[in-house]
Structure 1
Amino acid sequence: MANLLGSLLKIIYDIIGNYGISIIVFTVVVKLILLPLTMTQTKSMKSMQEINPKIQELKEKYKDNPEKMNQKTMELYKEYKVNPLAGCLPLLIQFPILIGLFNALRNPTVYVFPNEEAYLAADTAFLWMSNLASPDVIFLGGIAIPFILPILAAITTYFQSAMMSPKGAKKDSSQTMMLYLFPVMMLFWGRTFPAGLLLYWVAGNVFQIVQQSVLAKRPAKTKEAIK
């Protein structure tokens, strides 16, 4: 998978001639390829959000009878033709693709360019960065401090995750922790990741935020409007 995606990035670079812009275009192309899976996931998530008030009512009504609560919940899913697992399948399918992308962008001399000389020739300055092979950091007293890309990666990760969280649902402590922990981890990891990899991550998050905003406005096709 990494070889295939690396070849795609090389083709885009050969057309555009700028490595940074090529990564952004590459990100958009990959996201468009994955769009059918993303739409399936979004539709499932929206359907679950719409029936969530009824699920909460069932949890309150049958809080002392878990077996009955599960039975009624499954009946509710069947009535409104909602599959709670539909949102998980696209994630499972996308996982090996994401791993391939990670490897291709972290090791471009292996998967994208034929040798290190070709990579160094392509990886010239982009925006404020002298190259995309090094982390985007500044040094204060010998300590690497995350600069613009790691901060953008953390911020866009938070907003993208927040948009994917079910609206109106009660979040447990672990969900709330992950909502904030993952962006902090991205900020920390960004101190060591090549800037090219973070550029892909930020561009992908921005694409998904815009995509999610558009898809979220479309009504889910449940049995009927849930009052």
Structure 2
Amino acid sequence: MIARTLGTLLNLIYNLVNNYGIAIILFTVIVKLILLPLTLNQTKQTKKMQKIQPKVKELQEKYKNDKEKLNIKIMELYKEHKINPLSGCLPMLIQIPIIYGLFGALRKPEVFVFPNNPELLSKAINAPFLWLPNLVNPDVFLLGNLKLPGVLPILAAITTYLSMNQMNTGEQAQQMKVMNTVLPLMILWWGISLPAGLTLYWAVSNIFQMAQQYFLTKGVKLKEESN
């Protein structure tokens, strides 16, 4: 169902631009704009979390020998400041079915993106994009029989690392240090087998996310300074 819905949207965009790669890029931007309200809420919640960190540390010191009491007090603190500790994960959780659905759509464009239209299907999936012969096969370097990640997987991995480090600051960055290293390496490895179109989506999504986060953070700082 998700793959069919996303495939239909991708088909509509392709019919406007007549380029599969550009259609995927525009699709990515549309998805990020749809998720913008959640991202705005995530930024606000993160800012609130940073402000109460001194109080959290006080509670951790005060109840260091009583974990159950500590959890209760921290939840009370969150409630007092109207903080939802799960809100930061929501945009990522919503992206999971989108990525899964897009993977299905790009893996079987004849079923989900261009059903019953073999001529348009052939034109789209066989068209080159930048250095790639098509966006259906993975972007890889061939070294004999060995497949190495190509430009898109490398770009996706680097932007994943930068995006995660931009989002996680202070104490949170220390807690996420392992994940900040492991996930980009996983993205790099997956890029060997994933359709290049999906890797393109991931890289563009990260770049958009970083730009969005930069301007949102800057906007919050300017608002605070004006107050």
Q: TM-score, normalised to structure 2's length? A: 0.86
Distance 1:87 1:33, change over 3 A: same
| Structure 1 counterpart of 2:164, one-letter code | S
Pairwise mapping of residues 70-219 of structure 1 onto structure 2 (< 5 A)? 70-114=71-115, 115=117, 117-123=119-125, 124-169=127-172, 171-172=174-175, 175-219=176-220
Give distance in 2, aligned partners of 1:207 and 1:106: 24
Give distance in 2, aligned partners of 1:156 and 1:20: 19
Give distance in 2, aligned partners of 1:158 and 1:107: 29
Aligned pairs, number: 220
Give distance in 1, aligned partners of 2:48 and 2:63: 22
Q: Superposition RMSD on alpha carbons, in Å? A: 2.3
| Structure 2 counterpart of 1:213, one-letter code | Y
| Structure 2 counterpart of 1:21, one-letter code | I
Quote the offset at 1:89 in angstroms: 4.2
Q: What per-residue deviation string (whole Å, max 9, x for no partner) do you get for residues 85-137 of structure 1?
A: 33344444444333222322232222101255532311311111111111111
Q: What per-residue deviation string (whole Å, max 9, x for no partner) do you get for residues 15-41 of structure 1?
A: 101111111011101111121122222
Quote the offset at 1:56 in angstroms: 2.0
| Structure 2 counterpart of 1:121, one-letter code | K
Of 108-117 and 8-17, more deviation after overlay is shown by 108-117
| Structure 1 counterpart of 2:181, one-letter code | Y
Give distance in 1, aligned partners of 2:198 and 2:33: 19
Where does the alignment leave 5 or more consecutive residues of structure 1 unmatched?
Answer: none
Q: What corresponds to 1:50 in structure 2?
A: 51
**Secondary structure at 2:157 match in 1:** helix
Quote the offset at 1:189 in angstroms: 0.8
Q: Percent identity?
A: 55
Of 101-110 and 188-197, more deviation after overlay is shown by 101-110
Q: What corresponds to 1:67 in structure 2?
A: 68
Quote the offset at 1:143 in angstroms: 0.6
Pairwise mapping of residues 18-37 of structure 1 onto structure 2 (< 5 A)? 18-37=19-38
Where does the alignment leave 5 or more consecutive residues of structure 2 unmatched?
Answer: none
Greater helix proportion: 2
Distance 1:118 1:161, change over 3 A: same
Distance 1:90 1:147, change over 3 A: closer
Quote the offset at 1:215 in angstroms: 1.9
The answer as to whether partners of 1:49 and 1:166 remain within 8 angstroms in 2 is no
Give distance in 2, aligned partners of 1:107 and 1:154: 24
Give distance in 1, aligned partners of 2:187 and 2:110: 24
The answer as to whether partners of 2:106 and 2:136 remain within 8 angstroms in 1 is no
